[in-house]
Structure 1
Amino acid sequence: MLAAATTSLPETPGGERNWDYRYSWIRDSTWMLWGLYSLGFDWEANDFFYFITEMLEDGSDIQVMYGIGGERELEEKTLAHLDGYENARPVRIGNGAYNHRQHDVWGAVLDSFYLHTKSRDSVAERFWRPLSRLVDEAIAHWREPDRGIWEVRGEPKHFTFSKIMCWVACDRGARLARLRDAHEQATRWQEAADEIKADVLANGVDDRDVFVQHYETEALDASLLLIPMLRFLPADDPRVRATVEAIENELTEDGLVLRYRVEETDDGLTGEEGTFTICSFWLVSALAEIGETARARQLCEKLLSYASPLLLYAEEIEARSGRHLGNFPQAFTHLALINAVMHVIKADQELVQNATPPGARPPHERRPTL
């Protein structure tokens, strides 16, 4: 799976936010596997899963991204002799994020393995040692700052989402250990998960009970819409609702979600950017999770209306014009689309079931009257 088939299509016309996305990001893997399994593409899901496992088996540190042939060196270069779309510069090949410290990667891998394994009730012996190493790496490093899911090129921070994904690594690791009857590891990893959760709840929440981008700030971050989907907290927790509603009200333009406010985030770059389409689809799923079914459906329908003539999406959308920005088509966006639509369908089905009298057939199952 490629993040996109293109490089250097600008996130801001004429700006510098131009990146090479022709690589496979590990963080996309959980969503890819979830989407493939949900849609019945088990063979393709298994095939992609084994691509991930090959990256672990040589004992080297897990990277955030790889070439599609498993290449590890993705040195970033600028092609000064070229102009990009509408004269965008610079044109880049390679991606310097490949050697970033991004702490969400351990949780992404463990969540992928848990998703793959929980229906099989076992973990293959060949995978257990590298998986154990990843959980222990998350435990060893979760207290350190990193560059976060958005791969900021400013100073590393204690990003709340990165801490939550370290919790995911420990939580899923403990669950997998219990499947193997590895009780000592399960206990140790569960204790680490509990410690991380307590730290996040103490330092990653502001006075409004809203989760913030990183410790010691009140800035919002759209990645925190994933909290209920990751089961870090239940969807009915007041802090989850407060976070979803704060992002919906304060981190949007014309109802579409920004990943963060550039003026509040040291990402090492200049200029504005469009709304992140993946984040808008995350908001659909989050609204459905907290029971705001009508708002979820309304936003989902709005987003679907922004699709290109090919029914595909770029990375970003300019809210006022609907113009697509950034690399195209953006795989991560479409994985969030699948998740959002499945959330809306499930919510609609639950509404129908709740409104159907006992013993009666739901409307979609009834035969038409002749």
Structure 2
Amino acid sequence: MSLPASPFPPIADYAFLSNCHTGALIAPDGSVDWLCVPAFDSPSAFGNLLDRGAGSFRFGPYGINVPTQRTYVPGTNVLTTTWHTPSGWLVVHDALTVGPSNGADHVTPHTRPPADDDAEHVLVRLVECLEGSVEVELVCEPAFDYGREPATWSLVDDDRHAADATGAGQTFRLSSDLSIGIEGSSARARHTISKGQKAFCALSWAEEFASPADVDDAAERIARTVDFWRRWLSRARIPDHALRHPLERSALTIKGLTYMPTGATVAALTTSLPETPGGERNWDYRYTWMRDTTFTLQALHFLNLDWEADEFMQFVADLEPNEDGGLQIMYGIDGRRDLTETTRDELSGYEGAKPVRLGNGAYDQRQNDVYGAVLDSLLLHTRRSEHLPRRLWPLVKSQAEGALASWREPDQGIWEARGAPQHYVSSKLMGWVALDRAAKLAAIRDDPELEKTWADAAEEIRADILEHGVSKRGVFRQHYDTDALDASTLLSAIFGFLPGTDERMKNTVDAIGSELTEHGFVLRYVTGETDDGLSGKEGTFLICSFWLVSALSIVGERQQATDLLERLLRIASPLGLYAEEFEVDRARHLGNFPQAFSHLALIEAAARIILADRLDELSL
């Protein structure tokens, strides 16, 4: 018996657009199914991703829903979709446009220095008939505040080419060179264009609803956006290697998930895409996690994107700490601390996965790994710039003191388990990272007393882990009271806790590769062996599989590392993107999308293989 067809497109079939303030997901049929304005974490105006009645915006051929081809304009986050209809051929260009900066941005105010280019706060969609003639339809049906409030439309000055949609205290303007009609909560247009003709529509939430004046202006805005992305990518150091293309797409994705006004990076574009089909493992990832900092800095510096790295570190330096001086595990992209979690029970959820969550209840959890993530990032950035800014030294001291005070305590671990606190090995490991890196930063600062204090503490943590965190068979445990495996212990290789030649390191990598995988893809842990406070199974975690690539490289298993990376590259979405998880049995992506952590880990894994290949060339 076959499963009924889902009304929801597969997660991996969505295309991702960005203007570095917000992002959109476009379904294969041309519908914008996710868009929050004006920022990544604003309420959605188009939310069909989470409920088929929560808002959509389609511009494409009438009556045809399956495109011939979808691709990014090379080197950009601009989408091109080609359609073949019974009467002709049509191409659609979609972009969240970026243009020259023009003074202060009052829509999404900046705390970082202004760049030469900035978001225009406009989604531009341009169609062009390549052959024959094609009937084009525009259907824009917003539902504000995550689907709660359908739009109220009004024509602008009785002009049939512009209409304003209002709801939940928000307004944006739809403009087009097609004549717009209002039908209830939707704005619609239909028109037949012939070979060589173009038409456009644009959605604007900019100041005074600035929009393209005509089809030529729309085309120029898209062209400027293509130029922006290509100029940005040209600054990245991406080697001429077989891994060049996935590195470029990952770099563009990470940049697309960066919130330009503050320098923050969101973990993913979306909320509540399920880790378990139809289950409750649905989280809001539109925030900045401190543990992402070190992986973000590693990736940005490897790609030679030092400006973005500095912006991100300045965002971290601006954050308000807890009373004990430590940082929360996550913050809003504007630096806010309160991310109280609520649910929207009226929404169906993606393929029935409920609840749909807004906010993230893990924001005030104790997760002792945060200190190591921040201090490793600071050391990476300091070594790259050969300078430790004065404003960052207090952050070094506060994070080191936090690690000293907390490393002996149990916590919720890197996976934010909602069960009882435990002495997780990965948390102890990151405590070691914190004090090891703090000692190195103290040496750069020329403070020998603190250098010795922190180095001695790092060695104490190392001894504690090796005494309590290793099983009798010489494998790192998930936590001190179990022999269960956990993929986060692969970080012991990546952060240099033990050399790759150490038997405990090799044993751990081998055990995870053979016992914590499904068809070669890595699980975070076995859910039946872990008290994470949730029910249901989950898919394999893509970041863990990329970590295994890195760890295999470190312990000298080059061929296994290369083979696994090739398998991971083959399961990328049709547009080269990755969600959080991969469900092996049904060969589909699960979890929030696109997922920054997956792409960051891809960059790190690819970098190790490229470096090894280059060293081989030198030894010939």
So what's the TM-score if we normalise by structure 1? 0.94
Residue 148 of structure 1 corresponds to 413
Query: Does the alignment pair 1:44 with 2:308?
Result: yes
Change (3 A) 1:129 1:285: same
Query: Does the alignment pair 1:132 with 2:404?
Result: no
Deviations 1:200-227 (A, max 9, x none): 0000000111001000210001011111
Query: Does the alignment pair 1:345 with 2:617?
Result: no
Residue 192 of structure 1 corresponds to 457
Residue 90 of structure 1 corresponds to 355
Residue 364 of structure 1 corresponds to none
Cα distance in structure 2, aligned partners of 1:119 and 1:339: 17
Residue 362 of structure 1 corresponds to none
Residue 5 of structure 1 corresponds to 269
Matched pairs, number: 355
How many angstroms does 1:353 deviate by? 3.4
How many angstroms does 1:58 deviate by? 9.1
Aligned partners of 1:12 and 1:271 also within 8 Å: yes
Cα distance in structure 2, aligned partners of 1:54 and 1:93: 24
Runs of at least 5 residues in structure 2 that lack an aligned partner in the other structure: 1-264
Aligned partners of 2:477 and 2:485 also within 8 Å: yes
Given candidates 262, 279, 285, the residue that maps to 1:21 is 285
Extract structure 1 runs of 4+ deviating beyond 6 A.
none
Deviations 1:203-258 (A, max 9, x none): 00001110010002100010111112101111111111000000000000000000
- Amino acid paired to 2:301: Y
Aligned partners of 2:326 and 2:402 also within 8 Å: no
Partner of 1:118: helix, strand, or coil? Answer: helix
Residue 593 of structure 2 corresponds to 328
Cα distance in structure 1, aligned partners of 2:327 and 2:500: 31
Residue 299 of structure 2 corresponds to 35
How many angstroms does 1:49 deviate by? 1.2
Given candidates 312, 318, 321, the residue that maps to 2:583 is 318
Partner of 2:384: helix, strand, or coil? Answer: coil
How many angstroms does 1:127 deviate by? 1.8
- Amino acid paired to 2:406: H
Query: Does the alignment pair 1:163 with 2:428?
Result: yes
Change (3 A) 1:219 1:57: closer
Aligned partners of 1:103 and 1:162 also within 8 Å: yes
Cα distance in structure 1, aligned partners of 2:614 and 2:446: 37
Cα distance in structure 2, aligned partners of 1:299 and 1:122: 38
Cα distance in structure 2, aligned partners of 1:37 and 1:129: 23
- Amino acid paired to 2:296: M
Runs of at least 5 residues in structure 1 that lack an aligned partner in the other structure: 357-370
Aligned partners of 1:35 and 1:339 also within 8 Å: yes
Aligned partners of 1:122 and 1:180 also within 8 Å: no
How many angstroms does 1:350 deviate by? 2.8
Partner of 2:376: helix, strand, or coil? Answer: helix
The higher radius of gyration belongs to 2
Given candidates 485, 489, 492, the residue that maps to 1:224 is 489
Higher helix share: 1
Residue 329 of structure 2 corresponds to 64
How many angstroms does 1:312 deviate by? 0.3
Aligned partners of 2:322 and 2:328 also within 8 Å: no
How many angstroms does 1:352 deviate by? 3.4
Query: Does the alignment pair 1:75 with 2:340?
Result: yes
Residue 368 of structure 1 corresponds to none
Deviates more, 1:256-265 or 1:29-38: 29-38
Residue 115 of structure 1 corresponds to 380
Change (3 A) 1:109 1:56: farther
Query: Does the alignment pair 1:269 with 2:534?
Result: yes
Given candidates 279, 282, 305, the residue that maps to 2:544 is 279
Deviates more, 1:76-85 or 1:158-167: 76-85
Aligned partners of 1:80 and 1:90 also within 8 Å: yes
- Amino acid paired to 1:34: Q
Given candidates 546, 550, 563, the residue that maps to 1:298 is 563
Change (3 A) 1:57 1:145: closer
Cα distance in structure 2, aligned partners of 1:148 and 1:58: 18
Aligned partners of 1:163 and 1:200 also within 8 Å: yes
Higher relative contact order (CA closer than 8 Å, sequence separation 6+): 1
Deviates more, 1:192-201 or 1:114-123: 114-123
Partner of 2:545: helix, strand, or coil? Answer: helix
So what's the TM-score if we normalise by structure 2? 0.56
Higher strand share: 2
Cα distance in structure 1, aligned partners of 2:345 and 2:451: 52
**Percentage of matched positions with identical amino acids:** 56
How many angstroms does 1:57 deviate by? 7.3
Partner of 2:550: helix, strand, or coil? Answer: helix
Partner of 1:20: helix, strand, or coil? Answer: coil
Cα distance in structure 2, aligned partners of 1:17 and 1:269: 7
Cα distance in structure 2, aligned partners of 1:255 and 1:182: 47
Deviates more, 1:266-275 or 1:312-321: 312-321
Residue 369 of structure 2 corresponds to 104
Cα distance in structure 1, aligned partners of 2:458 and 2:547: 24
How many angstroms does 1:46 deviate by? 1.0
- Amino acid paired to 1:264: E
